[in-house]
Amino acid sequence: MNEKKLFFGIPLEPRSQKRILRAEEGWDTLPLFLSRPEFLHVTVFFMGFLKNEDIAGISEAARRICAEVEPFDIVFDEITLAPDTDEPKMIWLSGVENESLLLLRNAFEREFSEKLAENKRFRPHVTLARIRRSRWSALSPEKLPAFPIPISIVESVSSVVLFESTTEGGGRQYIPLDEYPLG
């Protein structure tokens, strides 16, 4: 295939992955598709399907954008049902709004999108699991964790990665193609 499904993201550090695994203890009996720890990331900007020959130009622009943003921290404060608690589809590690991350996201959007989003707020999140909705809704409330679950994780961000999203090899995978240092 001559196209790749691409996005810019921030992979979580191994220490954050371990904290999340501890928070997920007991979830193996729930009707969930858990994200693999090595694939946990914050999506900064989704590019969509692009041709292989476009990647060099994308990387050049991303390198320039990232050089203009200083390293920063993302604070995650809870594990929550998403997009809402009434009919959840996912479980997220949710973070507090972050000005540096918003600046980075907006710069990617200006560079790579023909249409700018109306909503300029951006709360970082990491998809921890996808919910098997029919089986989830059949469970009694006592069998479900009480959401939101408070957690405190601080992720230091010093670079952004261009990922390819693929399902080759079985299951969803995120393959790093290039990395761009901040500052």
Q: Which domain holds residue 18?
A: 3-181
Q: How many domains does the chain have?
A: 1
Evaluate if residue 158 carries a pLDDT over 90.
yes
Of the candidates 142, 125, 32, 26, which has an alpha carbon nearest to the alpha carbon of residue 75?
125
| 28-83 pLDDT, tens digit each | 999 999 999 999 999 999 998 989 899 999 999 999 999 999 999 999 999 999 99
pLDDT at res. 116: 60
Tokens of 2: 């001559």
pLDDT digit string (tens) for 120-142? 678 899 999 999 998 998 888 88
**Cβ atoms within 10 Å, residue 81:** 20
Residue 112 sits in a domain whose CATH number is: 3.90.1140.10
Q: What angle do CA 63, 69, 72 make, to 5 degrees?
A: 120
Q: What is the mean pLDDT of the chain?
A: 91
161 vs 177: CA distance, rounded Å: 7
Site of tokens 């904290």: 19
Burial level of 118, CB count in 10 A (0-12/13-18/19+)? exposed
